[in-house]
């Protein structure tokens, strides 16, 4: 990942079209495990690295605390994401032959300058 959309989201959908990699799913999308809020696919989000100076979704979001930092989508956090998938926090894409697209199948770019303490605290991305 990634960034994550929280329960503070008001489902205004301002962020969805801003994502350069189509990682944001609308409320009601069958691949969105959440109800009433939008969802960021951690296996797709690249934290806007190589696309923008800062996460575009957070720049478009009018709601404080709706988009927060999550863990990098790297093998170090494979267990974090596989447990989150099992608990329903995430809905990691299942590839026909490769199986669940966990970080060991395909890791994603992330912003190393974001401190792990900020990620662990689910810090607000708009403070970036």
Shortest separation between residue 26's beta carbon and ligand SF4, angstroms: 8
Shortest separation between residue 13's beta carbon and ligand SF4, angstroms: 5
57 binds ligand SF4 (CB under 6 A): yes
56 binds ligand SF4 (CB under 6 A): yes
> Looking at the DSSP assignment, which residues form a beta bridge with residue 4?
68
Q: How far apart are CA 99 and CA 38, in angstroms?
A: 24
Indicate the SS3 state at residue 56: helix
Strands 39-40 and 24-25: antiparallel
What x-and-dash track marks residues 8-37 binding ligand SF4 by CB under 6 A?
-xxxxxxx--xxxx-xx-------------
Indicate the SS3 state at residue 81: helix
105 binds ligand SF4 (CB under 6 A): no
CA dihedral over 72, 50, 64, 24, signed as positive or negative: negative
CA dihedral over 26, 54, 120, 83, signed as positive or negative: positive
Identify which of residues 60 and 105 has a Cβ nearer to ligand SF4 in the complex: 60
Where on the chain is the footprint of ligand SF4 (CB under 6 A)?
Answer: 3, 5, 9-15, 18-21, 23-24, 38, 40, 45-48, 55-57, 60-61, 63, 66-67
């Amino acid at each position: 990942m990634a960034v994550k959309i929280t329960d503070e989201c008001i489902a205004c959908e301002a962020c969805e079209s801003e994502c350069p990699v189509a990682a944001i799913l609308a409320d009601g999308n069958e691949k969105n495990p959440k109800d009433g809020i939008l969802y960021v696919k951690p296996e797709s989000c690249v934290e806007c690295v190589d696309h923008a100076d800062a996460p575009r979704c957070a720049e478009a979001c009018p709601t404080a605390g709706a988009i927060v930092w999550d863990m990098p989508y790297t093998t170090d956090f494979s267990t974090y994401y596989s447990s989150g998938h099992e608990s329903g926090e995430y809905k990691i894409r299942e590839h026909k032959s490769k199986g669940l697209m966990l970080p060991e199948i395909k890791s994603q770019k992330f912003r190393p300058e974001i401190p792990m303490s900020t990620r662990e605290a689910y810090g607000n991305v708009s403070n970036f």
